[in-house]
Structures are given as C-alpha cells and as structure tokens.
Amino acid sequence: MKSKHTRIYNCRICNATEMEVVILLKQMPFTDEFISKQDIGNEFLADIEISICKVCGCTQNVNNTDMDDYYNEYTYSVQSSGFAIQFMGTLAERVKERYFRANSAPKVVEIGSGTGEQLLEFKKLGCEVLGIEPSEKLAEYANGIGVPTLHAFFDGDINNILPDNFKSVDLIISSYTYDHIPQPITVLKKIHEILKEDGIMIHEVHDLDLIKQRNEYCLFEHEHYTYLNERSISYVMGANSFEVDTFSLLLQNEKRANSLLVAARKVNCVKKYEVDVQFELKELKQLNQDVSVSIHRIQSWLSDNANVKVVAYGAGGRGIMTIAALNDVSGIKFIVDKNPKAENIFAPKSHLPVYGIDILGVEHADKILVFSFGYFKEIVNELCDKFGYTPNQFVSILDLLEPKNA
Ligand SMILES: [Zn+2]
C-alpha cells in the first residue's frame, strides 16, 4: 500500500513553529502491513520523525500519513483477550459510579469504538450509547452485537451526522484513538461542543513516560501523531477548557500496558497547567539516546548468536517495529506468531517470513527471542510442552530493551 506522507511545520497542539526533531527512525513500515512474496519491496516505508514543540512541550510525529484506506480496512480488534474485556467492564463500572450515580441513563459516545465491546459494557449499566468508527467492518460488527455505531471519522463535520438525540451527551470516551488523531485540537473543540455542561471526557493513550521507562521505541508509529504524558496532556486539556479530574480511574495493574488514562470535566474557561519545556526536551533527548543504545544492544546480541538459529516470536506491532528499526536482521531466521494474519506472508521492511508456531516443531530453533513479552511465561510453557524446548532457550526482548538492564 502506498500512502501519502507529508511533513507538518506547526505544532499540532499550539500551532507554534518551533519544533525540534529528537528521534529519527529511518524508513519504517506500517505495523500491520504484511506482504506477499510478490509485493516485497512495494510496502509503505517512510521516516518516523518524533519532535517536541519548544513552546508547549508536547511530543509529536511531524508527518501526516494518509490513513483513510488503512482504517477503513482495519479489522484488528481486542475481542479475544479476556483481560481487555475485564478492563472494559471495570472502566464502565468505575465511570458510572464516580460520575453518574444520579443519572440512570447517561448518554455515552465513543470515538473509534471498534467492535463496540467497550460501549456494550456501558449499555449493560443502563447507559444510552453511540459508537463512531472509521472501519466499515468493525462498525458492522458493533451494530450486529447491539451497539448502534456510525461508520465515520469523528472530525469537524461530526455534527452533521449525529442523530438528534446524540447532539448533546454526558460522556465522550476514546481508547488508543486520541493519539491517532492528526488534528487533536479540532477534535477537542468538537467534544467540548457536544458535551453537556459538566460533561466528562475520558481518553486512554500511550503514556510517553512509560514508553521511556521501558524504552519501547516500537510505539513510535506512523499511526500515532501525539505522545503525551500526565503533564503534557493536562496542559492540552486545560488550554481547551477542560479540568483534569483524575489519572487514577483504574489501578496500574487494571490497565493495559503503557496506558495513560485521563478523565476531565468540561468547564467554561481555560485552565492553566504548567509544562516545563526544558525538562520535557531533556527527557526526550535521553529517550533518544536510550533507543540508540538498545538498538545497538539487540544488534550485538544477534551477532553474539550468529552461529545458532534464532527465531523471533510475536508478529504484532511490537515485533514488527522493533525489528524494522534494526540495521541488520540476517541473524533472525523467521518470525512466528500464534495467530499470523495469513499464510505465506512476510514482515514489512525486514521481509522475514511469518509462520504459525507449528513450524517450531519441524524446524528446530536454538534461541527464541520473545517480543510479546507480556505473555512470556505462557509462550515458554506452551513451546516446551508441545515441541520439547527448554526454558533457557528463551529471551525476552524486554531484557535487551530496558535501560536498567544495560
Ligand atoms: Zn506546541
């Protein structure tokens, strides 16, 4: 897929032109564009340039990538993960309890509502719900499970398509969507317009501070336009007439990895939240250094293991992007995944073949580098049981990534 890629020169948040590129990942693919043999070389590749605005201190991607087709065809969903479903249920309960005890049927809109499973949890609690979803297939699925969903982007024209009974609502939420929005301020203004007085807005985004802690440069993707932390997201909310209510709706272990969950209330004046721009700049520069060091560390680990057969486990975004940033992938034989997207596919940029895990029973690996580190134990157990591997053959990518392991 060839997509349009254009440079921006103004801050997505405050419109200033004082932007400094701090992290540069050269010629990176989409996380999800697996290719067939004949399409090798035709995949989308472009530099990812992560910059910081020296006026407001917000970190952001300074390229716009045309994603309309990508999102329309998007079918990835969290529907199979028990943990995600549990998270959604807990979130709905906490929100209802904290903000809508006196309101038996609050109106809830979700931006980028996917398969509708989060809204379904709100519906179970008596809320009236409406999803806005750019992928046609996902919107269809959501409608099928009883979650009314519009196939649309939530943008400046959203008022024209909202049904009359959803032109003024109590709660607007989004999950891993707000950081995918190229014009985050336009969307905030719309949210402000549609929310009732004292209405609540909740966003879940990737937390830049947690990315830094784990050195997870794979989360710098074409799909992600802004990278905020508690300090910068507070500034963004306040500058657009929202008052931050809490970052602790859920405990850390109830949230998904890297999640920053903010709840804010609509107010009628600007709120000032200070950001120390020099501090944010210093932090991002440190992250850049840590990223280079960890890329180097993975590369040396592969050289040290050049004489044995190394296989990568995990063809999700983390595996694909971490590998794509390496200069030399010849030390990896292939990638395996529990649920590969299709048969006979190759990873974008690295062009490593992607197989289901059964191949590990046929072609024995000496070492398995696990990118899906959240499931490390399960993966080790399964492969030992099924194919006779031993635990000392497994290495978690986290051990090579985290600065504290250097
Ligand atoms: Zn700015």
Per-residue pLDDT of the chain (406 residues; tens, 9 = 90+): 667 889 999 999 999 999 999 999 999 999 989 999 999 999 999 999 999 999 999 999 999 998 776 666 665 544 546 778 889 999 999 999 999 999 989 999 999 999 999 999 999 999 999 999 999 999 999 999 999 999 999 988 898 999 999 999 999 999 999 999 999 999 999 999 999 999 999 999 999 999 999 899 999 999 999 999 999 999 999 999 999 999 999 988 888 778 999 999 999 999 999 999 999 999 999 999 999 999 999 999 999 999 999 999 999 999 999 999 999 999 999 999 998 988 999 999 999 999 999 999 999 999 999 998 888 999 999 999 999 999 999 999 999 987 776 5
In whole angstroms, give the CA distance from residue 280 to residue 273: 14
Residue 284 in contact with residue 22, Cβ under 8 Å? yes
pLDDT value at residue 254: 87
Q: How many whole angstroms from 226 Cα to the centroid of ligand 1? A: 11
CA of 71 to the centre of ligand 1 (A): 27
Residue 168: the pLDDT is: 97
pLDDT of residue 81: 67
Residue 40 CA to ligand 1 center (angstroms) comes to 38
Distance 231 CA to ligand 1 centre (A): 13
- Ligand 1 centroid to residue 72 C-alpha, Å: 30
Q: What spacing in Å lies between the alpha carbon of 283 and ligand 1's midpoint?
A: 16
Ligand 1 geometric centre to CA of 60 (Å): 9
φ and ψ at 215, to 5 degrees? Answer: 65, 35
| Distance between Cα 56 and ligand 1 center (Å) | 4
CA 99–ligand 1 middle distance (angstroms): 31
Ramachandran quadrant class, 251 (left: phi over 0; alpha: psi -120 to 50; beta: rest) = beta
Q: 368, 383 in Cβ contact below 8 A?
A: yes
Phi, psi angles (nearest 5°) of residue 402: -65, 130
pLDDT reported for residue 70: 65
> What is the whole-number distance in angstroms between the Cα of residue 322 and the centre of ligand 1?
28
Which domains does the chain possess?
72-271 (3.40.50.150), 285-405 (3.40.50.720)
Structure confidence at residue 73 (pLDDT) = 63
Give the distance (Å) from ligand 1 centre to CA of residue 10: 8
CA of 389 to the centre of ligand 1 (A): 51
Measured over the CA atoms of residue 64, residue 68, residue 69 and residue 70, the dihedral's sign is positive
Ligand 1: centre distance to CA 53 (Å): 5
Q: 323 C-alpha vs ligand 1 centroid, how far in Å?
A: 31
Residue 138 has which token pair?
């996902």
Contacts of 246 (CB under 8 A, 6+ apart): 262, 263
Around 22, how many Cα atoms within 13 Å sit in the side-chain half-sphere? 27
Whole-model pTM?
A: 0.91
Spacing, Cα 277 to ligand 1 middle (Å):
10
What pLDDT was estimated at residue 405?
A: 64
Residue 35 contacts residue 57 (beta carbons within 8 Å): no
pLDDT confidence of residue 74: 61
Neighbours of 235 (CB within 10 A): 22
Ligand 1 centroid distance, CA of 12 (Å) = 7
The tokens of 310 are what?
């190394």
One-letter amino acid of 286: Q
Give me ligand 1 centre to Cα 244, in Å.
19
What gap in Å lies between CA 264 and CA 112, rounded to an integer? 19
C-alpha of residue 215 to centroid of ligand 1, in Å: 24
C-alpha 162 to ligand 1 mean position (Å) = 31
How many angstroms separate the alpha carbon of residue 51 from the centre of ligand 1? 10
Expressed in angstroms and rounded, the spacing between residue 152 Cα and the centre of ligand 1 is 28
How far is CA 366 from each of CA 24, 35, 70, 333, 353, rounded to the nearest angstrom?
33, 27, 37, 11, 18
d(CA 187, CA 155): 6
Expressed in angstroms and rounded, the spacing between residue 183 Cα and the centre of ligand 1 is: 12
Q: State in Å: Cα 403 to ligand 1 middle.
A: 28
> Ligand 1 centroid to 260 CA: how many Å?
20
Sorted by sequence, the CB contacts under 8 Å of residue 112 that are 6+ apart come out as: 132, 133, 134, 154, 174, 175, 176, 177, 180
16 CA → ligand 1 middle, Å: 5
Q: Residue 3: how many CB atoms within 10 A of its CB?
A: 16
For ligand 1, the distance from its centroid to the CA atom of residue 352, given in whole angstroms, is 39
Tell me, what's the pLDDT at 78? 43
CA of 185 to the centre of ligand 1 (A): 11
Give residue 224 CA to ligand 1 midpoint distance, Å.
17
Region of residue 233 (phi > 0: left; psi between -120 and 50: alpha; otherwise: beta): alpha
